[in-house]
Structure 1
C-alpha cells in the first residue's frame, strides 16, 4: 500500500518507507506467464524441433534458461482467443495421428504437434505450474470434464487410462482452470451475453467441482469496470453448497480481468497502467458487493483477482493476426514497471497476474533461429520477480504530478499521476525493496528517502531516451548496479526505474 500527497513542483519530494508495517502477502503468482497458440509463441518460440538450440523434446533450451531467471510460478495455456475452438483431444496421442485444423482466432492452421502432454512436460522442465483454459466457444461440458480427468485422474477411468496409454502414468494435478476467455468480446467465436455466460459458468462449475473439488476455478471477467463483471460476480459468487461434494467448497475461486495499455506519447504510455489500479479497486468492490448481496458467509474464502492478461500492446503497430511482435522501447519498459508497482500496491486483492505473452507475442523475450533477445520490458520484470516478493509494506510519496493527457482519457479524473510511481516490499530475507519509476522524460528528481539505511544496493533501468529499443542489434536498455550510503536524498534519473534494496 502506497499513499500519496500532491506537492507543488518547487517542493522537495519525500518517499517514506515503513518496513515494519506489513500490509499484505505478495502472491508469487503475480509473476505468472502465458503461452498461446498465436504467432510464434508456441511454434518457433518455446517449441522448435529440429533447431540445434532445442532439446530432445523440441523445447528451446535458450528460452527455458532465460525464463528460469524470472522464476515463473504459473503459466497459462493454450489461450487466449485460441481456446474458443480448441479441442484438447486433437493434441494428444501419437503425433503422426494428430489432425491439423483451421485455426479461427488468428486465421492460421493448427498442427496440434504441441498439446497438453507437451505443455505439461515443458512446465516440468521450466519448474512451473500449469493453468489451463476451457473452450467456452465450440467446446462442451463433457469435453471439459474429460480434460480434467485426463490431467488429474487417478482411478481406472477412460481418460485417466488414455493419459497412461500416451505414456504418462502419473497425474499432472492441474489446479488452475479458467471458465473461458473473453467470452464477452465480439471477436470471439461464440460471443456470449453476460446472462448466458453466467448461467453456463455456474453449471460448468458445479460439475467440475463434483469431479474434483480441489480445482481452482476462474470466472471470466472483462476489464473489472464493466457491467459484465458486476453481473457475472453477482450470479456466480454464491454460498458454497455442501451437496456438491463431501466438503462444502465454493464454486468460484478467482475472477479474471484483462487490460492492455499503450500510447504513442511517452507520458500517457507510462501512466496508463494506473488504469489497472483503478480496475483492481473496482473489481475488489464488486466481489465484496456480490458476497454481501448473496449472503456469502465470511468464513468462505474471498475470491481474488486473476489479472491473467496484461501488458503494453499497441495493436496498430503489432497486429494480432500478424503475430503481434512488438519492438518495445524504454517508455514501454517504464510502463511495465508501473504495471508491476500496481500489482505490489494491490497485493491484497491479486491471486495471479499473467503477462501476455511469455515468448515472441507482445513479449519481453524474442527468438530467432540463432538465439534470443531480451527486450527493454524484460528488465523491470526480471528485477521485480527477483526482489519484489514477500510482503507489501506501507510507503508514502509526496511529490508533484503529471497534469497532461492520459490514456485512457477517464484516468485523468480518476487517479493522481505522480512523477514518482512507487511500491515497497520486505522479503523473507529481511531486505527492504523500494521500486521507484521516474516517468519524466525531461528531468531527474532528487527526493528524500526516509527509512533507507546502511549500504543500499541500487539497480537502475534506463537508456539514452524513451524511444530506444533492444531490437536494433544492441542492448540499449538493461540493469545497471550500484550502491548508495542511504543518507539524505537520492537522485532518480529521468525516464528510469530504480530499485533500492537495504537491510
Structure 2
C-alpha cells in the first residue's frame, strides 16, 4: 500500500531551446535476421499480402508508428552480404549460408523489394554497405545501382530489373560494429578508419549529396571505447556526417529500480561520444560538427538463451524474439526522453528492430500481428515528439540504485511544436511504489490549455502483451489540470506519461 506521495517541479520556458528535433531520431531497423523479413514484413502466402508478398497488417502497424527512416539490411548480416545476390529475377537468386546468424538466406527480398516496401510505409532507408568481407568497389557499385539515373552499367542494370527511377538513398552506413570480434571481417580502428575513408571518398564521387555514418564502438562495454571513436574519426571526420552509437539494456538480475536507471548510462555514453567528436574537431582545427546516429538501441535480454536451440542453416527461424514486459516499455520511454534532450547532437536513431526481432511489432506466421508493450512509448514519441526540444528545469526527489546514485524519480523531456502551437511533456515516474505529484510551470506558454494526459501504467511490472490479449496499453485518463500557467498532474507509480497542451484563442 502506498504511504507517501512525493513532489517534483519542472519549469518549461520557450526560450530554453536545445535544438530542433530531426524526426529521424524516431527511426527503426530491419535486418535479415530471424523472422524480421521472412514471416515478419514479407510473407507471400499471408491473407493480407500485397503483390510483392509484403504483409498488409504489418504495413499498417508500421504506418501507425510513422517511422521516418529504417536501417537496412544490417546489422551483423551486412558484413557478409553480397548485395548483387538480392537483385534481378527472384528465381535466379542464389541461396547463401548466412554466417552472422548461421541461417540460410534465400534472397527473396533484396534492395529493390525493400525500397518498394519502405516507400509503401512512408519511410526513407538508411542503407548499410559491407565493409567486412568487401569494401570500396562493392559500396560504390551499390550506390551507383541505387542512385544514378541511367547511362551507366549499374544504373542500367537496375532499370533492367524493372526500377526505372533511381531510389535516391540519402543516408549510408559505412559498415556495422567493425570493432566486434563477432563481426565477419573485424577491423582494428586504423584498418577501419582507412577503409571507411577510402570508401566514403569513392561514394561521394558517385553521389556528392549523400550522408555517411562512420562506425562507432559496438557499445560502451567494449574495451576499446572510446579510443575506437578517437582513432577512426581521425580518418573519417571530414568525410562522414555522423558517428554511430549502439546500446542495449537488460534486467537479468530482476533489479527493476536499477534497470530503470540505465538511461543514466545512456546519457554518459552520448556525452562521451560528443566530447570525443569535439576533441577531434579541435585537433583538426575543423569548422565541422560531427553529429550522432544512435542507430541501434533497445532492451534486449529475454531471448538470448532460447536462441541457442535453433537449428543451423534454417530459413527465417525465430531468433531474438524478446517478449517485452511493462518495465521494458518504461525504460524504452526513458531512452527516448534521453535522446530528445540531446537533440542538438543526436540527429538520427533506430529502435532495433522493427518486427519480430527485439521489436515493437510481433507476428504469427500465417496469422495475427500485434503490438508489444514497447510499441506505445515509441508511438507517442514519434507522434508528439516533433518540433523543438526544450530544456526542462527539473527538481525531483532521487534514489540510489545498485549501479547509479542520485537517480531522479522524474525523468522528462519537453517538445514545442511551433507550427501546430502544441507543447508536449514526456514524463517517466521511476518510483516503483509511490505516485509523484508534478507541478509544471508553463507560464511562458500563455493561452495553452490541456489537450490530454496519456498514461501507460500497470500494477504488474512483468505484464506482457500477446496476440490474444493486450494487457499493457495506454489510456487518456491521466487527470492533469492546467490553470493560470501551472500544470498539475499526479504521475502513477512506475508510469509513462504524455501530457499535451495546445494554444487556444478567445473567440471575441
Could you say whether these structures have the same fold, taking a TM-score greater than 0.5 normalized by the shorter chain as the test? yes
Matched, 1:309 2:296: yes
Structure 1 pair 214–160 and aligned structure 2 pair: CA distance change class (3 A):
same
Residue equivalent to 2:246: 258
Structure 2 residue matching 1:278: 3-state secondary structure: helix
RMSD between aligned residues: 1.7
CA contact (8 A) 1:91 1:116 kept: yes
TM-score by length of 1: 0.91
Residue equivalent to 1:74: 69
Structure 1 pair 426–499 and aligned structure 2 pair: CA distance change class (3 A):
same
Distance 2:18 2:144 in 1: 39
Distance 2:358 2:194 in 1: 33
Distance 1:455 1:186 in 2: 51
Q: Deviations over 1:191-232 (max 9, x none)?
A: 111111111111111111112111111100013652111211
Matched, 1:439 2:447: no
Deviation of the 1:19 alpha carbon: 3.0
Match of 1:449 among 428, 440, 446: 440
Deviation of the 1:13 alpha carbon: 1.9
Distance 1:117 1:89 in 2: 11
**Correspondences of 1:216-255 after superposition (within 5 Å):** 216-222=211-217, 223=219, 225-238=225-238, 251-255=239-243
Deviation of the 1:266 alpha carbon: 1.3
Deviation of the 1:402 alpha carbon: 2.1
Deviation of the 1:20 alpha carbon: 4.0
Distance 2:305 2:498 in 1: 30
Deviation of the 1:70 alpha carbon: 1.1
CA contact (8 A) 1:19 1:432 kept: no
Residue equivalent to 2:353: 357
Residue equivalent to 1:336: 332
Residue equivalent to 2:283: 293
Residue equivalent to 2:163: 168
CA contact (8 A) 1:330 1:469 kept: yes
Deviation of the 1:454 alpha carbon: 3.0
Residue equivalent to 1:490: 489
Deviation of the 1:485 alpha carbon: 2.6
Residue equivalent to 1:245: none
Q: Deviations over 1:139-191 (max 9, x none)?
A: 23211111001001123110001001000110000111111000100101111
Q: Which moved more, 1:108-117 or 1:287-296?
A: 287-296
CA contact (8 A) 1:441 1:465 kept: no
**Ranges of 4+ aligned residues in structure 1 off by more than 6 Å:** none
Matched, 1:421 2:420: no
Distance 1:70 1:401 in 2: 33
Matched, 1:381 2:371: no
Deviation of the 1:10 alpha carbon: 8.7
Q: Which moved more, 1:272-281 or 1:25-34?
A: 272-281
CA contact (8 A) 1:461 1:498 kept: yes
Q: Deviations over 1:467-486 (max 9, x none)?
A: 11113731111110135331
CA contact (8 A) 2:193 2:235 kept: yes
Q: Which moved more, 1:330-339 or 1:317-326?
A: 317-326
Unpaired segments of 5 or more residues in structure 2?
311-317, 503-508
Q: Deviations over 1:103-142 (max 9, x none)?
A: 1010000000100010111011111111111111112321
Distance 1:259 1:23 in 2: 23
Structure 1 residue matching 2:454: 3-state secondary structure: strand
CA contact (8 A) 1:318 1:326 kept: no
Deviation of the 1:317 alpha carbon: 5.1
Matched, 1:37 2:32: yes
Residue equivalent to 2:267: 277
Residue equivalent to 2:505: none
Structure 1 pair 327–11 and aligned structure 2 pair: CA distance change class (3 A):
closer
Q: How many pairs align? A: 473
**Correspondences of 1:312-323 after superposition (within 5 Å):** 312-314=299-301, 316=304, 319=307, 323=319
Deviation of the 1:233 alpha carbon: 1.4
Distance 1:502 1:193 in 2: 50
Distance 2:451 2:89 in 1: 55
Distance 1:39 1:104 in 2: 13
Deviation of the 1:92 alpha carbon: 0.5
Q: Which moved more, 1:42-51 or 1:469-478?
A: 469-478
Distance 1:170 1:80 in 2: 27
Structure 2 residue matching 1:480: 3-state secondary structure: coil
**Correspondences of 1:9-28 after superposition (within 5 Å):** 12-28=7-23
